[in-house]
Chain A
């Protein structure tokens, strides 16, 4: 089978992987980089547990060919914490709101929530539901997850206003 050298940016670091061309992006990032926040849930793009951001947009890494990652900027859950390993605000909000039960879906949900919490205007619960509709959770019933996302979004909007001196 053919192998190929792939160069991309993962969590801010430039990386090279020598991979089998039949690999998915989730295979490459778990297998070559040990990024186990990426879950192999359904492996067919239904559950969202393998969600990563590619150039800022959420993708299911289980149905994305690893070779397509050439030159891309990839962010996984591991890239959210700071150098000391302290969790980010959205991760803390998931903990505080009780949005985590078994935890299997959590990394995928948090990655899907990144484009939401960075929006300039507040989202309604209905808008948030639409933007996390590609992620399944079998434990929480979703309400706590939406609470965590909405509160983090509101907090970030407040912080931006304060830093702009408004």
Chain B
């Protein structure tokens, strides 16, 4: 038995929003792979829960007419990885979430839960930040669109009102078209582990594939929240591809991050990882895009 108080089970999104307004203190339960575990540990004893897991309207991925990719928040990690729209346009997201936990966790864990938790290690967060995802936050009073890059306020704290529920994650076409991405998760084990550091890069090259038209880079566990490395991006944009550019990008990332020491790794090791993963992920993304680092 889980130690919670009242469980609300809305059968429609409208009903869920109504319940959230009536019970703003109640926790939204998606796949439960964080909340049910915290309940087992007694950390959330006595909480009220609103289970939205069975709301199929909030599950799935689609492509809108204007090219926007819409990811519904209850889509499981395995559902993201196998989805044809993800595979075709943003395969790096599918590859990133395929490194979470193990198969059972990837079947239950949801992408919405992953980002609403607000933890810095969320494997989906870096790629969504690097793609300038826009969050659709709904309440009974209406819909609010918020850039995901403005969502995290601190460790475990996000810009979501007590009456709001995440109802979609949107990635505009302008963000992903002609881009190639790569994600590296550095962890102690190949599975069932939390990232010591995560780095997601996506790049759009010029037509002759000799220059970087636009590069985006985001880190997990390099700061209290997942972050974009804006200085490194500015260093890269418009520049000719080459080994010295990769070195400059890697060096610049240090201006954007502020990792800390934890039992997983020291601050110094994380800073080393920031540079090295940035270099490796950027190299892989450029190569996927058809660019050549040497000559």
Contact = CB atoms under 8 A, between A and B. Distances in A.
Given A43-B40, A51-B104, A59-B107, A130 B32 contact: no
24 contacts: A2-B6, A23-B1, A23-B2, A24-B1, A27-B1, A44-B37, A48-B102, A58-B103, A59-B107, A60-B104, A60-B108, A63-B33, A63-B37, A63-B108, A64-B108, A65-B7, A65-B29, A67-B9, A129-B190, A130-B190, A131-B103, A133-B103, A133-B192, A134-B103
Which of A64, A65, A135 counts the most B-chain CB atoms under 10 A from its CB? Answer: A65
A26 to B, nearest CB: 11
Contacts of B104: 45, 48, 51, 58-60, 112, 134
Given A22-B4, A68-B51, A133-B103, 16 more contacts: A21-B7, A22-B3, A24-B1, A27-B1, A45-B36, A45-B101, A45-B108, A57-B78, A60-B104, A63-B108, A68-B54, A112-B104, A133-B102, A133-B190, A134-B103, A135-B102
Contacts of B51: 65, 67-68
A21 B4 CA distance: 10
B233 to A, nearest CB: 32
Interface in A94-112: 112
Which of B2, B3, B29 counts the most A-chain CB atoms under 10 A from its CB? Answer: B2
A70 interface: yes
B245 interface: no
B179 to A, nearest CB: 27
A23 B36 CA distance: 11
Contacts of B53: 65, 68
A132 B107 CA distance: 13
B272 to A, nearest CB: 27
Interface in A11-51: 20-24, 27, 43-46, 48, 51
Contacts of A132: 103
Interface string A123-145: 00000011111110000000000
B105 interface: yes
Interface of B: 1-4, 6-7, 9, 29, 32-33, 36-37, 40-41, 51, 53-54, 78, 101-105, 107-108, 190-192
Nearest to A31: B1
B249 to A, nearest CB: 31
Nearest to B38: A44
Chain A contact residues (Cβ within 8 angstroms of B): what range? 20 to 34
A156 B32 CA distance: 35
A88 B54 CA distance: 33
B1 A134 contact: no
A75 to B, nearest CB: 14
Contact of B54 (A20, A70, A133): A70
A44 B40 contact: yes
A59 B103 CA distance: 8
A20 B2 CA distance: 10
Nearest to B3: A22
Contact of B191 (A23, A43, A134): A134
Nearest to A130: B191
Contacts of B40: 43-44
B244 to A, nearest CB: 36
A63 B190 contact: no
A66 B278 CA distance: 43
Contacts of A24: 1-2, 36
Contacts of B192: 46, 133-134
Contacts of B9: 67
A120 to B, nearest CB: 15
